[in-house]
């Protein structure tokens, strides 16, 4: 009886795109939407990983207690009387701009191109700087959080930030794993190339250097 009462207390009804959705305290908007089969695009989210909030493509519009704002659905927790709009003029505009920026980095990504069909980004707003990596961190976080190997990590900061395989670990661990390749939203082959290059040239493992 007490347990049933507690269960009921932790249940929260939120409104997503005009639909009443049952959620549980602690859930994010993304989890509540997915449970109700409401689609929100994601690039850096993975159900086995801690929320990261890097790509912002999951931005939605929320309204609660008279406040309206744009939040990342993969991070923002549900709360009582929350109203969520997964598509609106503001949401579409921000997703369009994010895609313009990401496509400048990874123009061949089929996942980005699919999203581009929906949001129609303008070409050429951002300077082209193809690096294949959109720094979603899926590979880095998967290797650390799920595989517990830390064979791939981020190096440098700001515009110079990139992923790099740690040769001493990668040579031992990656050949029989490669689970991170499929997670990459931009290019499986490029990620494979970086790994292969790291393994072949462990002393010169900078992906940038090896691409030249």
Site residues for ligand SF4 per CB under 6 A? 133-140, 163, 183-186, 191
Q: Of ligand FES, ligand SF4, none, which one does residue 43 interact with (CB within 5 to 8 Å by kind)?
A: ligand FES
Distance CA 91, CA 205 (A): 39
Contact window for ligand FES (CB under 6 A) among 10-18, 53-61, 141-149, 204-212: 53-61
Output the CA–CA distances (angstroms, integers) from residue 88 to 61, 132, 167, in the order listed. Answer: 7, 29, 46
Task: Quote the least distance from Cβ 15 to ligand FES, whole Å.
Answer: 20
Minimum CB distance to ligand FES smaller for 135 or for 199:
135
| 53 is a site residue for ligand FES (CB under 6 A) | yes
Residues in the chain: 212
Task: Quote the least distance from Cβ 40 to ligand FES, whole Å.
Answer: 8
Provide the sign of the torsion angle of the four alpha carbons 110, 93, 134, 51, taken in this order.
Answer: negative
Looking at the DSSP assignment, which residues form a beta bridge with residue 12? Answer: 23
Contact window for ligand FES (CB under 6 A) among 54-62, 110-118, 161-169, 176-184: 54-62
Task: Quote the least distance from Cβ 42 to ligand FES, whole Å.
Answer: 4
Closest CA to 60 of 37, 77, 80, 35: 77
Q: Of ligand FES, ligand SF4, none, which one does residue 191 interact with (CB within 5 to 8 Å by kind)?
A: ligand SF4
Closest CA to 121 of 136, 102, 148, 138: 102
Binding positions for ligand FES, 58-117, rule CB under 6 A = 58, 72, 74
Distance CA 183, CA 44 (A): 9
């Amino acid at each position: 009886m007490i347990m049933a009462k507690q269960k009921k207390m932790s249940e929260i009804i939120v409104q997503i795109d005009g639909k009443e959705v049952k959620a549980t305290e602690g859930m994010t908007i993304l989890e509540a939407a997915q449970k109700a089969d409401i689609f929100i695009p994601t690039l850096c989210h993975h159900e086995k990983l801690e929320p990261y909030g890097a790509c912002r493509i999951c931005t939605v519009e929320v309204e609660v207690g008279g406040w309206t704002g744009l939040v990342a659905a993969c991070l923002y927790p549900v709360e009582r009387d929350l109203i969520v709009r997964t598509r609106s003029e503001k949401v579409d505009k921000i997703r369009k701009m994010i895609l313009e920026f990401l496509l400048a980095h990874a123009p061949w990504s089929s996942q980005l191109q699919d999203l581009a069909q929906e949001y129609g980004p303008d070409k050429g707003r951002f300077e082209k700087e193809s690096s294949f990596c959109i720094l979603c961190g899926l590979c880095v976080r998967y290797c650390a959080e799920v595989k517990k190997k830390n064979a791939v990590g981020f190096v440098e900061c700001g515009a110079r930030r990139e992923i790099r395989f740690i040769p001493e670990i990668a040579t031992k661990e990656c050949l029989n794993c490669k689970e991170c390749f499929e997670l990459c939203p931009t290019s499986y082959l490029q990620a494979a190339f970086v790994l292969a290059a790291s393994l072949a040239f462990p002393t010169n493992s900078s992906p940038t250097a090896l691409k030249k």
